[in-house]
Amino acid sequence: MAQVTEVIHPLLKHHVTILRDCRTPPWEFRQQVRRIAALLASAATADLQVVSKPIQTPLAPMVGVALAGRIALVPILRAGLGLVEPLQDMLPHAAVWHLGMYRDEETATPVEYYCKLPPDHPADVAFILDPMLATGGSIAMAAEALARWGCPDVRVLSIIAAQPGIDRLCHEFPSLKIFVAAIDPELNDAKFIVPGLGDAGDRIFNTLPE
């Protein structure tokens, strides 16, 4: 079964509450996404492999550590873009590969329209970035693409996940590591997370219908 971590922290609960509030304006929504992503990243990167690195401080030599292996950030367009910058702040040497998917509104299934993964040299660790894990369809498609690429360690960062989506990913991808700030119980008839926060992409990019 996939390893699911709901990161429990009072700062996360505080920031997620602001994120959920329908009165939160887009500029503040984006700020909250960044703060939450940084907190999730701390948990999701806690067991990354390191190697010894001798350095010289202003006072003495010492042996520190450096991250080992190649790391990739894989945002699912478009909402996943909101999680990239805070991850890049912590992982400045990570490559960013984009996967474009849109939701078929009649079937609520993802349709891939863009894939920028290279044909070879897979990353050692890949982070799928998507603020919302609803049905799990888009993340499943991304996980399949990363498996074909040959990435041995795939991790998911989502802000809010629905239990049905988590159950699906646990069944289909036993080695997947999933990190979320909150798990909501259900999806509505339109396959939106309830209580959720609405459409994350529209709220990040201020494209809500007037």
> Catalytic residue numbers?
103, 107, 199, 202
Please tell me the distance from the alpha carbon of residue 171 to that of residue 163, in angstroms, as a whole number.
12
Question: What token pair was written down for 52?
Answer: 């010894």
Longest CA–CA span in the chain (Å) reads 65
Please tell me the distance from the alpha carbon of residue 85 to that of residue 184, in angstroms, as a whole number.
26
| Closest of 44, 2, 73 to residue 159, by C-alpha | 44
Give the pairing of strands 193-194 and 95-96: unpaired
Question: What token pair was written down for 91?
Answer: 């992982």
Place of tokens 């609520």: 108
